[in-house]
Amino acid sequence: MNLLPGPAAPATLPSHLNPAHIDAGNRTLAEMQELATSLTFAAMLTDDGFEIVHLNGATTDGGRFASMSSSVQALSDAVAHELKIGTNEYVIIASELGHVIQLRVQGHPIVLAALFDTHETLGKGLSIARIAARRMAQLMA
Amino acid sequence: MAEHVVLFAGPMGSGKTTAIRSLSEIEVVSTEAANTDRATADKETTTVALDYGEITIDDVTKVRLYGVPGQKRFDFMWSILAGRARGLLLLINNDAPESIALLLQYLADFHELHARGAVVIGVTKSDVRESPTVADYSAALTAKFPEQLIPVFTVDPRNAEEMRTLLLTLVASVEMRELLAPAPEKI
Ligand SMILES: Nc1nc2c(ncn2[C@@H]2O[C@H](COP(=O)(O)OP(=O)(O)OP(=O)(O)O)[C@@H](O)[C@H]2O)c(=O)[nH]1
Ligand SMILES: [Mg+2]
């Protein structure tokens, strides 16, 4: 039995209040915008739906979008779990005038959600979103 | 087999997810996420979309149990799920600040379901804080809705038997309403 006290629990600041995470998010989203002008809105949010940062928020209610994205992410995870098809990698909502792509930032309770207009192909949107999620993880490491 | 849909609502940490897990006969569908709002409820996870479970009562009645997130940020899920329910099981944690006002607020938020369906109130965590009492809640409800009798129970969501009693009360009330005003034919 190990009687030594464990390391003190890190003072975990929620990501949406953590300046380092906010900075990493802003940098990631700015880089993402450079890769795609078709990116009309993007946000990083905590798993429980608090917005950490967003890009191009003029026409979108960021707080509400973050809550909805978190619900959608959790429901999609539940479906993947129910069907026993492994980990849910992306969520795609393809609509007439745009598509939303969501994915998790590996190793963190953070979701990246991006809205592209239809000038972007889904394939390109996916690849940009994946690069951004990886970049976010890297900046937070 | 008769079927009913009931909704579990109420503040964050009042025990909606716990209650559905206590009651359900099937593996529940849950959508828990790491909770960053520790100030409101100091617990590991919080519901961000829904809970879903099922229970059969009397061998002939299946009850579908839906839970919503307690946090108002997710109120779009409240409207989505309230629409399919005929009964509301509102859990209120007794240790919440201003818990009577909070209960009335949640009832107002679900007024559409309250108007057309049955309602039962479960006061949780009365082991954590003793007051207000069931009589206090009942008095506030009677003052607000003088023409109605809304049942109030203390309940521990971790206790399946207690939850079952609450649910049976709600289902009886749903069935009574259906007898008095039959649901429109399904299309
Ligand atoms: N002592 C005590 N603990 C309780 C009681 N009821 C519930 N709990 C605990 O309080 C917590 C309730 O958590 P949840 O079931 O996740 O609450 P919830 O209503 O689903 O919360 P959200 O999904 O975040 O809105 C759990 O840790 C329960 O074990 C009670 O009557 N007494
Ligand atoms: Mg819950």
By Cβ distance, the residue of B30, B35, B48 closest to A71 is: B48
A48: nearest CA partner in chain B: B33
Whether residue A3 is predicted with pLDDT greater than 50 in this model: the reply is no
pLDDT of res. B180: 86
Which pLDDT score, from 0 to 100, does residue A119 have? 83
pLDDT attached to residue B1: 80
**Cross-chain Cβ contact A71/B36 below 8 Å:** no
| pLDDT of A2 over the 60 cut | no
Per-residue pLDDT reduced to its tens digit, B31-45: 999 999 999 999 999
How far is C-alpha B140 from the geometric centre of its chain's CA atoms?
18
Nearest atom (ligand 1) to Cα of B71: 25
Mean pLDDT of A37-45: 95
Residue B34 near ligand 1, beta carbon < 6 Å: no
Best mutation site among B7, B12, B16 for ligand 1 pocket (most ligand atoms within 8 Å of CB)? B16
Q: How far is the CA of A101 from the centre of ligand 2 (A)?
A: 26
How confident is the model at residue A60, as a pLDDT?
Answer: 77
With contacts defined as CB-CB under 8 Å, which chain A residues touch B37?
Answer: 14, 48, 50
CB under 5 Å of ion ligand 2: residues:
B 16-17, 47
Q: Which residue of B has its CA nearest to A49?
A: B48
Say what the pLDDT of residue A131 is: 97
Q: Between A8 and A119, where is the model more confident?
A: A119
Answer yes or no: is pLDDT of A1 > 50. no
* Interchain contact, B34 vs A46, CB within 8 Å: yes
Please state the rounded mean pLDDT for residues A12-27.
Answer: 93
Residue with tokens 């003088």: B146
Alpha helices in chain B (DSSP H): 16-23, 75-82, 99-109, 111-116, 134-144, 160-180
Ligand 1 contact via B122 beta carbon (within 6 Å): no
Helix B16-23 vs helix B160-180: angle between axes, to the nearest 10 degrees? 90
Question: Beta strands A91-95 and A98-104: pairing type?
Answer: antiparallel
pLDDT digits (tens, 9 = 90+) for A65-104: 999 999 999 999 999 999 999 999 999 999 999 999 999 9
Q: What are residue B165's phi and psi, to 5 degrees? A: -60, -45
* Ligand 1 neighbour B125 (Cβ under 6 A): yes
The confidence band for B184, taking pLDDT boundaries of 50, 70 and 90, is low
Instruction: Report pLDDT for B167.
Output: 98
Q: pLDDT band at B100, cuts 50/70/90?
A: very high
- pLDDT on residue A120: 84
CA B64 to chain CA mean position, Å = 12
CB spacing of B33 vs A16 below 8 angstroms: no
Residue B162: CB within 6 Å of ligand 1?
no
Are B49 and A74 inside 8 Å of each other by CB? yes
Do residues B7 and B89 lie in contact, with contact meaning Cβ atoms separated by under 8 Å?
yes
Amino acid (one-letter) located at B89: L
The predicted model gives A123-141 an average pLDDT of 96
Chain A residues lying within 8 Å of B49, measured CB to CB: 70-72, 74-75, 78
- Mean pLDDT score, B92-117: 97
Query: Contact at 8 Å (CB) between B153 and B94?
Result: no
Domain B2-180 in this protein, CATH class: alpha beta
Q: How far is the centre of ligand 2, averaged over its atoms, from the C-alpha of A36 (Å)? A: 38
Return phi, psi of residue B125, to 5°: 60, 30
Distance CA A32, CA A128 (A): 7
Residue found under tokens 């779990």: A81
Indicate the pLDDT class of residue A18, thresholds 50, 70 and 90: very high
Domains of chain A from N-terminus onward: 16-140 (3.30.450.30)
Residues of A in Cβ contact (< 8 Å) with B77: 71
| H-run or E-run covering A125 | helix A122-140
What is the C-alpha to C-alpha distance for residues B163 and B154, in angstroms, rounded to an integer?
Answer: 10
